A and B are shown apart, each in its own frame.
Chain A
C-alpha cells in the first residue's frame, strides 16, 4: 500500500523535474534574447523619439497646407497595426495587447494589420477584416519590411480607405514591467490646422505637400520599426518572468513532493519493523 504511493510520488517528482528543466531552459533562452533585444532598443529608441518629436514639432508649428496626412474628419474607418508574438508561454504578453485592441475597436469599422502568429490567429477567429496576412512571423520582420509596409499604409490612407491609423504594441518599461500601448500614427493632428494664416515659418524644400508625401511614409516606417523593437524586447522579458515563476513553482512542488515521499518511505519502514517485531 505504502509502496504504491511512494512509487506514484516518485513518478510525479520525476515529471516535475523534467518540467523544471524545460522552463529553466526557456528562461535562459529568453534572458539571452532579451539582452539582444534590449541592445537593439537602446539603438533604435533615440531614432524613434527624435523622429516622433520632430514630426510633432512640425505639425504644431502650424502649417498652411491642407495635407490629408495632417487632419481628416473621422468616419470610424480605422486601421490597427497590432504587434504581438509568435509563441505563447509569455505570461500575459499576447493576451494583454489583444484585449486592449479589442476594447478599442468594438464599436468601430476596424481593419487589422496583424504582425505575429498570435495576432493573426486571434483576429482570424474573431473575423475582423485583415489588411494583409503577409507578416505571420513577428521575429522575421526587418526594417525593410517596416518601410514597405509604411508605403502600402500611406497609399491606402491617401486613397481614403481609412481615416485613422493606429499602432498597438507593448512598450518596454523595464525587465519587470511592460505596458500595452496604442499610438495614433495618422492623421498627425487632432484638429483641423488653421489654413492660410501664414503662422508657419518653416521652409519646405521643394514644397510642403511633397515634403509631407515623402516624409510621412518614412515616419511611419521608422515608428513601426521602433514599436516592433519595443514589442520584441517586451515579449522576451514577459517570457523570462513567466518561466522564472514556473521554474520556482516546479521547485516548490518538488520540495513538497520530496517531503511527502520521505514521509511515506519512513512510514513503510516503520510498519515493516512493527510487523517483524510483532511476528517474532
Chain B
C-alpha cells in the first residue's frame, strides 16, 4: 500500500513521525480510516482504539481526546493521550475500573464524581480492550 506521512504528537512528546500505510481512529462520530490521498479533513477524537499500519505491521493503541487532521496529504494526530498496546498495564486499568465502580455504586456520590468516574471507567475499558490485542 502507498505510504503517507503521519505524525502522532501528544503533550508528552512525539510518539511517531514517519510514513504509515493506514490509520484508523475513533472520532466523536465513529471510526474513520485514513489512507494515502485522503481528502483534507478535520475531526475531533473520541475515546477508543487506534490502529496504525506501519511497514505492513499492524499496531494498536488507546487514543483519547484531541483531534486528527489531514491537510494536503500531511496527517496529524494530536491526541491528549496515546498509548501503544504493549505499553498499557492491564492491571492498572483493572484497578482504575474497580475504583470507578465503587464511586458509581455509591448512592452518595455527587454528579461531578459520577461524571469523573464514568470517564475513568471508559478510559479503563478502552485500555483493557487495546491491551488484549497485543
Q: Which residues of A contact B (CB under 8 A)?
A: 42-44, 46-47, 50-51, 54, 57-58, 61, 143, 147, 201-206, 210-211, 214-215, 218, 222, 225-226
Contact = CB atoms under 8 A, between A and B. Distances in A.
Contacts of A57: 71
B44 A47 contact: no
A47 B11 contact: yes
Nearest to B69: A54
Contacts of A211: 42-44, 67
Given A43-B12, A222-B11, A222-B78, A215 B71 contact: no
Across chains A and B, which 5 residue pairs bring their CB atoms closest together, nearest first?
A214-B44, A43-B13, A205-B43, A203-B41, A202-B40
Nearest to B81: A143
A203 B40 contact: yes
A205 B13 contact: no
B66 A218 contact: yes
B78 A51 contact: yes
Contacts of A210: 28, 44
A229 to B, nearest CB: 9
Interface string B55-69: 000000000011101
Contacts of A222: 11, 66, 78
Given A58-B69, A205-B41, A50 B76 contact: yes
A206 B29 contact: yes
A46 B78 CA distance: 10
Contacts of B12: 43-44, 47
Question: For this complex, into which size category does the number of interface residues on chain B fall?
Answer: 20 to 34
Contacts of A218: 44, 65-67, 80
Contacts of B128: none
A188 to B, nearest CB: 13
Contacts of B66: 218, 222
Nearest to B77: A50
Contacts of A206: 28-29
B9 interface: yes
Contacts of B67: 54, 211, 214-215, 218
Contacts of A42: 13
B42 A46 contact: no
A215 B42 contact: yes
Contacts of A44: 11-13
A246 B44 CA distance: 50
A43 B11 contact: yes
Interface string B24-42: 0001110010000001111
B9 A46 contact: yes
Given A43-B11, A222-B11, A205 B32 contact: yes
B16 to A, nearest CB: 11
Nearest to A58: B42
Contacts of B39: 201, 203
B65 A46 contact: no
B13 A204 contact: no
B10 interface: yes
19 contacts: A46-B13, A50-B76, A51-B78, A54-B71, A58-B69, A61-B40, A147-B80, A201-B39, A202-B71, A204-B43, A205-B27, A205-B43, A206-B29, A211-B43, A214-B44, A215-B44, A218-B44, A222-B11, A222-B78
Contacts of B133: none
A276 B13 CA distance: 78
A54 to B, nearest CB: 5
Contact of A202 (B10, B42, B80): B42
Interface in B1-32: 7, 9-14, 27-29, 32
